[in-house]
Structure 1
Amino acid sequence: MKNNALFLAPLAVLAMVASPVSASAAMARPAQSEEASVPFINHGAIRDWRADGDRVIYFQDSGRQWYRATLMTPAFDLPFVEAVGIQNSGTDRLDRWADVVVRGQHYPIQSFVKVDAPPVKSANAAHKS
């Protein structure tokens, strides 16, 4: 019994010594963007939206904060539609658990994070075929 206690004591000391190193290593890694949400989407909380390709949509809330929604699968009609829908089963918020509806097809959101603004498109991008 005493041998087990003597064996466990050095392990406990080793764990205490190793934990600050692992904590500092975790702090050195770049932080992932936190998932965000916009409440009251059924009551005018979404002010604007912009598609960026077939997998990314930028939403602006009524406070003029922008969010980037990345879809799990491509929505090939997204760059060409004038309206999108949002469906979130039973809740009144836009978050990563919602679906974006494009021409009746549901596309789950993979991530939903705050951003400063959508990317600015160059003048040449509008004229490319």
Structure 2
Amino acid sequence: MTTPHFITSLAGAAALVVGLSGLSATPASTAPAVGEEASIPFVSAGSIRDFRVVDRDTLYVQDIQRNWYRAELMAPCTDLPFAETIGFDVRGTNRFDRFSSVLVRGQHCPLKSLVVSAPPPKKAKKKG
């Protein structure tokens, strides 16, 4: 007994992609544009690599491919600037996106948006 295949050949897969997208068969960039709404898949498999907190309303999240995303929260998350660890509540979807929440010391902090971003700004060095 053979396993059923949805697409049985590379040529068939290419024809399907071109047919569905309405584009030519020339390669296109798959990288999302800065500022574009995004999601990070496979959160339970460790696809989030790092995070940087800006303030009570904003943080940057880095995926395992070292892409950065800027997460804006719906409301201030009081303990976020002081958190050493945070959780990512994806509500069973396994995708971190604008419908997800950040967990900080037991507090659920829902996202307003998650967009592709440049790396977070560097922190200013203290004079002293």
Q: When the two structures are superposed, what TM-score results if normalisation uses the length of structure 2?
A: 0.70
Distance 2:74 2:37 in 1: 15
Q: Which residue of 1 aligns with 2:111?
A: 109
Distance 2:44 2:38 in 1: 17
Q: Which residue of 1 aligns with 2:102?
A: 100
Q: Which residue of 1 aligns with 2:47?
A: 45
Percentage of matched positions with identical amino acids: 47
Q: Which residue of 2 aligns with 1:122?
A: 124
Pick the aligned partner of 1:58 from 46, 55, 60. 60
AA of the residue aligned to 1:79: P
Q: Which residue of 1 aligns with 2:27?
A: none
Instruction: Report the 3-state secondary structure (helix = DSSP H, G, I; strand = E; otherwise coil) of the residue aligned with 2:126.
Output: helix
Distance 1:76 1:124 in 2: 24
8 Å contact from structure 2 (residues 35, 117) kept in 1: no
Distance 2:121 2:98 in 1: 21
Pick the aligned partner of 1:34 from 26, 33, 36. 36
Distance 1:38 1:89 in 2: 14
User: Matched residue pairs, number?
Assistant: 95
Please report how far the alpha carbon of residue 56 of structure 1 lies from its aligned counterpart in structure 2 after TM superposition.
0.6
AA of the residue aligned to 1:93: R
AA of the residue aligned to 2:98: R
Please report how far the alpha carbon of residue 58 of structure 1 lies from its aligned counterpart in structure 2 after TM superposition.
0.5
Query: 5+ unaligned residues in a row in structure 1: which ranges?
Result: 1-31
Instruction: Report the 3-state secondary structure (helix = DSSP H, G, I; strand = E; otherwise coil) of the residue aligned with 2:56.
Output: coil
RMSD: 1.6
**Larger C-alpha radius of gyration, 1 or 2?**
1
Distance 1:33 1:119 in 2: 15
Please report how far the alpha carbon of residue 124 of structure 1 lies from its aligned counterpart in structure 2 after TM superposition.
2.8
**Residues 76-91 of structure 1 aligned to structure 2 (within 5 Å):** 76-91=78-93
Q: When the two structures are superposed, what TM-score results if normalisation uses the length of structure 1?
A: 0.70
Instruction: Report the 3-state secondary structure (helix = DSSP H, G, I; strand = E; otherwise coil) of the residue aligned with 2:81.
Output: helix
Q: Which residue of 1 aligns with 2:76?
A: 74
Distance 2:124 2:84 in 1: 21
